[in-house]
Amino acid sequence: MKITSLTIASGLGPLLMVLAAPLVTGFIRKLKASLQNRPGAPVTQPYRDLLKFFNKEETVSETSSWVLRAVPYAVFGGTLAACMLVPVVTQNPAIGFAGDLIVLAYLLVLPRIFMALGGLDCGSAFGGMGSAREMMVSSIAEPALILALLTPAVAAKSTQAGEIVRAISANGWQSLSPGWALAFAALFLVALAECARVPVDNPATHLELTMIHEAMILEHSGKSLAVLEWGSWLKLTLFLTLLANMFFPYGLASEADAGSLIVSLALYAVKVGFLCIVIALVESSMAKLRLFRVPDFLGAAFALALLGLLAQGLVRIGL
Amino acid sequence: MELIFSAWAIFLAGAAVSLFNGKISAFAKLCAATGSLLSVAGAVSTYFNGNWGSFAMPGPIPGMGISVLLQSLGAFFTVLCGLAGFACSVYSLGLREEGSGRLYFCFNLLLLSLSGITVSGNAFTFLMFWELMTISSFFMVLHDYHNEDTRHSAYVYMVMSQLSAALIMLVFAGFYRATGSMEFSVWGAKSVQYSLAFKNVIFLLSLLGFGIKAGLVPVHIWLPLAHSAAPAQVSGLMSGVMIKMGIYGFLLVIFSFLGQGPAWWGAVVLAAGAVTAVTGVLFAVQENDLKRLLAYSTVENAGIIFLGIGAGSLLNAYGYTLLSIAALSAALFHCLNHSMFKSLLFLSAGAVVHSCGTRSMEKMGGLIKKMPFTAAFFIVGTLAITAVPPLNGFFSEWMTFHALLSLFSIHSAWATLGGLLAVAALALTGGLAAACFAKAAGITFLAMPRSEEAVHAHEASGFEVSAMAMLALGCVAASACGMQIFDLIHESLKYGTRAFFVIAGPDAPLPIPHGNMSIEALWLIVLGSLLCAAAMLMLGKRQVRVVPTWACGMKELTPRMEYSSTAYTKGLRMVFSFMFRPTRRKVSDLSVSEYFPRNITYTTSFRNLVTEKLYAPLSSLALRGSETARRLQSGSVNVYLGYLLAALAVLISILIAGQK
First to last CA, chain B: 53
- Secondary structure of residue B540 in the 3-state scheme: coil
Closest by CA to B491, choosing from B26, B6, B50, is B50
pLDDT digits (tens, 9 = 90+) for B541-573: 888 899 888 887 888 888 888 899 999 998 898
Alpha-carbon separation of residue A180 from A161, A183, A187, A250 (angstroms) = 15, 5, 10, 15
Alpha-carbon separation of residue B397 from B305, B427, B460 (angstroms) = 9, 10, 31
pLDDT of residue B604: 83
- Which chain A residues are within 8 Å of B537, Cβ to Cβ? 73, 223
Nearest by CB: A97 against B411, B521, B545: B521
Question: What number of CA atoms fall less than 13 Å from residue B402's CA on the CB side?
Answer: 32
Distance from CA of A39 to the nearest CA of B (A): 31
Q: Range of A158's domain?
A: 5-317
Interface test with B, best of A86, A106, A292 (most B CBs within 10 A): A106
Determine which helix (DSSP H) or strand (DSSP E) holds B585, and give its type and residue range: strand B583-589
Beta strands at B544-547 and A58-61: parallel, antiparallel or unpaired: parallel
Same domain? B625 vs B502: no
> Are the C-beta atoms of residues B174 and B242 closer than 8 Å to each other?
no
> Are the C-beta atoms of residues B290 and B444 closer than 8 Å to each other?
yes
> Are the C-beta atoms of residues B249 and B203 closer than 8 Å to each other?
no
Same domain? B360 vs B503: yes
pLDDT of residue B509: 36
Torsion of CA A184, A186, A190, A191, to 10 degrees: 20
With cut-offs at 50, 70 and 90, classify the pLDDT of residue A27: very high
Interface contact B412-A147, CB threshold 8 A: no
With cut-offs at 50, 70 and 90, classify the pLDDT of residue B514: very low
Q: Is residue B581 part of a domain?
A: no
- Which chain B residues are within 8 Å of A136, Cβ to Cβ? 435, 571-572, 575
In the predicted model, what is the mean pLDDT of residues B186-195? 84
DSSP 3-state helix, strand, coil percentages of chain A (rounded to 5)?
70, 0, 25
Cβ contacts of B369 within 8 Å, gap of 6 or more: A65
Q: What DSSP letter does each residue of B183-248 carry, written as one string?
A: BHHHHHHTGGGS-HHHHHHHHHHHHHHHHHHHT-TTTTTHHHHHHHHS-HHHHHHIIIIIHHHHHH
In the predicted model, what is the mean pLDDT of residues B367-381? 95
Q: Count how many domains chain A has.
A: 1
User: Does residue B464 register a pLDDT over 70?
Assistant: yes
With cut-offs at 50, 70 and 90, classify the pLDDT of residue B507: very low
Q: Find the closest chain B residue to A319 by CA distance.
A: B413
Distance from CA of A157 to the nearest CA of B (A): 6
> Are the C-beta atoms of residues B393 and B242 closer than 8 Å to each other?
no
Cβ contacts of A263 within 8 Å, gap of 6 or more: A251, A253
Q: Is residue B21 part of a domain?
A: no
Q: Is residue B243 part of a domain?
A: no
pLDDT digits (tens, 9 = 90+) for A35-74: 999 999 999 999 999 999 999 999 999 999 999 999 999 9
In the predicted model, what is the mean pLDDT of residues A144-166? 89
ipTM of predicted assembly, 2 dp? 0.95
Q: Measured between alpha carbons, how far is B550 from A124 in angstroms, rounded to an integer?
A: 7
Determine which helix (DSSP H) or strand (DSSP E) holds B68, and give its type and residue range: strand B66-69
Distance from CA of A56 to the nearest CA of B (A): 6
Q: Which amino acid is at A293?
A: R
User: Does residue A93 register a pLDDT over 70?
Assistant: yes
Interface contact B539-A54, CB threshold 8 A: yes
**Chain centre distance of CA A17:** 11
Distance from CA of B629 to the nearest CA of A (A): 50
Q: Find the closest chain B residue to A57 by CA distance.
A: B543
Q: Which amino acid is at A62?
A: E
Nearest by CB: B388 against A109, A121, A313: A109
Write the DSSP symbol of residue B181: -
Same domain? B305 vs B448: yes
First to last CA, chain A: 41
User: Does residue A117 register a pLDDT over 60?
Assistant: yes
User: Does residue B518 register a pLDDT over 80?
Assistant: no
Distance from CA of A142 to the nearest CA of B (A): 6
Q: Measured between alpha carbons, how far is A159 from A168 in angstroms, rounded to an integer?
A: 13
Closest by CA to A47, choosing from A199, A266, A230, is A230
State pTM to two decimals: 0.94
| Helix (H), strand (E) counts: chain A | 12, 1
Q: Measured between alpha carbons, how far is B364 from B346 in angstroms, rounded to an integer?
A: 16
> Are the C-beta atoms of residues A60 and A216 closer than 8 Å to each other?
no
Same domain? B617 vs B487: no
- Which chain A residues are within 8 Å of B442, Cβ to Cβ? 116-117, 119-121, 131
Closest by CA to B179, choosing from B209, B206, B202, B162, is B202
Which range has the worst mean pLDDT, B55-59, B200-204, B567-571?
A: B55-59
> Are the C-beta atoms of residues A155 and A316 closer than 8 Å to each other?
yes
Q: Measured between alpha carbons, how far is B575 from A135 in angstroms, rounded to an integer?
A: 12
Instruction: Quickly count: other Cβ atoms within 10 Å of residue B50's Cβ.
Output: 7
Q: Range of B627's domain?
A: 609-659
Q: Which amino acid is at A75?
A: V
Q: Count how many domains chain B has.
A: 2
Q: What are the φ/ψ torsions at residue B545 (nearest 5 degrees)?
A: -120, 135
Alpha-carbon separation of residue B542 from A51, A220, A228, B196, B532 (angstroms) = 14, 14, 16, 73, 17
User: Does residue B512 register a pLDDT over 70?
Assistant: no
Q: Which amino acid is at B125?
A: T
Beta strands at B583-589 and B66-69: parallel, antiparallel or unpaired: unpaired
pLDDT of residue B621: 94
Q: Is residue B604 part of a domain?
A: no
Alpha-carbon separation of residue B82 from B43, B86, B214, B460 (angstroms) = 9, 6, 19, 23
> Are the C-beta atoms of residues A21 and A236 closer than 8 Å to each other?
yes
pLDDT of residue A10: 86
